[in-house]
Amino acid sequence: MSDKPRKFKGGVHPDDSKALSSHKAIQEAPLLDCYKVIMHQNIGAPPELVVKKGDVVKKGALLAKAGGFVSVPLHAPTSGTVKSIDKIPGPTGISVPCIEITADGEDEWASPFEPIADWKNAEPAVLKQRVWDAGIVGMGGAGFPAHVKLSPPEGKKIDTLILNGAECEPYLTADHRLMLEQAEEVVLGAAILARILGLKTAVIGVENNKPDAIEAMNKVAGKHNIQVQALPVNYPQGAEKQLIYAITGREVPVGKLPMDVGCVVQNVASAVAVVDAVVKGIPSIERVTTVTGKPLVNPGNWKFRIGTPISKALELAGGITEQPAKLLLGGPMMGIAQSSLNVTVMKNTSGILLISNDEVSQYTSEPCIRCGRCVDCCPMQILPATISQAVENKRFDWAEKLNVMACIECGSCSYSCPSHRPLNQQFKRAKVEIQAGLRKKG
Chain positions 353 to 382 lying near another protein, rule: CB under 8 A, are 354-355, 359-360, 362-363, 366-373, 375, 379-382
In the complex, least distance from residue 19 CB atom to another protein, rounded to whole angstroms: 16
Q: Name the minimum Å distance from CB 115 to another protein.
A: 31
Say whether residue 9 binds another protein (CB under 8 A).
yes
Per DSSP, the three-state class of 206 is strand
Contact between 127 and 196 (Cβ < 8 Å): yes
159 binds another protein (CB under 8 A): no
The footprint of another protein on residues 35-54 (CB under 8 A) is: none
Report the residue from 170, 205, 238, 307 that binds another protein according to the rule CB under 8 A: 170
Q: Contact, 128 vs 150, CB < 8 A?
A: yes
Q: Measured from the CB of residue 341, what is the shortest distance to another protein in angstroms?
A: 6
- Is the Cβ–Cβ distance between 176 and 18 less than 8 Å? yes
The correct pick among 45, 336, 398, 434 for binding another protein (CB under 8 A) is 336
Applying CB under 8 A, among 312, 351, 388, 396 the residue interacting with another protein is 312
Which stretch of DSSP H or E encloses residue 132? Answer: helix 124-133
From CA 414, how far away is CA 333, in angstroms rounded? Answer: 9
Q: Which of 2, 118, 323, 442 binds another protein (CB under 8 A)?
A: 323
Beta carbons of 235 and 11 less than 8 angstroms apart: yes
> CB 235 → another protein: shortest distance, Å?
10
| Residue of 379, 385, 383 whose CA lies nearest to 417 | 385
Question: Would you count residue 399 as binding another protein (CB under 8 A)?
Answer: no
Q: Does 314 bind another protein (CB under 8 A)?
A: yes
Minimum CB distance to another protein, residue 94 (Å): 13
Return the number of the residue (206 or 380) whose C-beta is nearest another protein: 380
Q: Which of 70, 220, 257, 320 binds another protein (CB under 8 A)?
A: 320
- The answer to whether residue 81 forms part of the interface with another protein (CB under 8 A) is no
Map residue 28 onto helix, strand or coil: strand
Which of 120, 319, 435, 437 is in the footprint of another protein by CB under 8 A? 319
Tell me if 8 contacts another protein by CB under 8 A. yes
Positions in 200-229 near another protein (CB under 8 A): none
Letter string b/e over residues 42-78, b meaning 16 or more CB atoms within 10 A of that residue's CB? bbbebbebebeeebebbbbbbbbebbeeebbbbbbbb
Of 30, 153, 155, 442, the residue at the interface with another protein (CB under 8 A) is 30
Closest approach of Cβ 225 to another protein, in Å? 30
Told to check if 59 binds another protein by CB under 8 A, we report no
Q: What type of residue sits at position 274? A: V
Q: Is 149 in the site for another protein (CB under 8 A)?
A: no
Is 47 strand, coil or helix? coil
H or E element that contains 313: helix 310-316
Q: Is 156 in the site for another protein (CB under 8 A)?
A: no
- Number of Cβ atoms within 10 Å of the Cβ of 4: 10
Q: What is the CA angle 84-139-66, rounded to 5?
A: 50
Give the DSSP letter of residue 258.
G
CB of 167 to another protein, least distance (A): 16
Closest separation in Å from C-beta 170 to another protein: 7
Beta carbon nearer to another protein, 266 or 338: 338
Among 84, 129, 311, 393, binds another protein (CB under 8 A): 311
Residue 228, helix vs strand vs coil: strand
Closest CA to 274 of 124, 400, 155: 124
Residue 335 binds another protein (CB under 8 A): yes
Q: How many residues bind another protein (CB under 8 A)?
A: 84
Interacting residues of 440 by C-beta distance below 8 A, sequence separation 6+: none
Under rule CB under 8 A, residue 428 binds another protein: yes
Site for another protein in 255-284 (CB under 8 A): 256
Euclidean distance between CA atoms 164 and 146, whole angstroms: 13
Concatenated DSSP letters for 63-74?
EEE-SSSS---E
CA atoms of 352 and 258, how far apart (whole Å): 28
Report in angstroms how near the CB of residue 374 gets to another protein at its nearest.
Answer: 9
